[in-house]
Structure 1
Amino acid sequence: MGCLEAMKPEVLLSRCSFAEAREYIKKHVREYYEVEPGYKIHDVHLIGVPPLYVGIDGEDVVFPYTKPCHGTFVVKVAGGDAIGRLRSRRK
């Protein structure tokens, strides 16, 4: 598993529930996609209660990240190839 801190995240929402993270992304990010638990962004696997949303905000991705014993956070990191992978999920 990758290290979130190595991606220099901007924390948008701290210590929230999975539902609060989902609602934050829906409300604050125009372009978002539903992903399954275990979906990988860079080297970080997402965990949580479905549906999980990952947003695209310019050149960044916004997603919920859960740290055991610390809770769930909504973070923003540089998107890189994660943006193309998300957009290719459209059906």
Structure 2
Amino acid sequence: MGGCLEAMKPEVVLSQTSFREAREYIKKNVREYYEVEPGYKIFDVHIIGVAPLYVGVEGEHLIFPYTKPCHGTFVVKVPGGDEIARLRKRKGK
């Protein structure tokens, strides 16, 4: 995983999944989530995939799909910090 994301020791919630499965997982399992455009940046990581892409907020954590070249797409959970406020300022759910 990318430098900063790896340093945060992400919890892998769902591994080797598809963009669609990642989207459905977040939609069904995370109460607060936001649609973002492909390329949306969280910390130093650009989220890639097929729209719509969802980023979930659970307590103080962000849950989002992360695609690692040659390894596939994962749904990861990391401490959200200031990214949560930035995400909430965007248009809704």
TM-score interval (norm. to shorter):
over 0.9
Deviation at 1:17, TM superposition (A): 0.2
Residue of structure 1 in register with 2:57 after alignment: 56
Identity of aligned residues (%): 78
Amino acid at match of 1:67: K
Amino acid at match of 1:71: G
d(CA) in 2 for partners of 1:44, 1:5: 10
Say if 1:23 and 1:33 are closer, same or farther in 2 by CA, change over 3 A: same
Amino acid at match of 1:30: R
Q: Number of paired residues? A: 91
d(CA) in 2 for partners of 1:30, 1:12: 15
TM-score (norm 2): 0.93
Residue of structure 1 in register with 2:17 after alignment: 16
- Structure 1 unaligned regions, length at least 5: none
1:40 aligns with 2:36: no
1:84 aligns with 2:85: yes
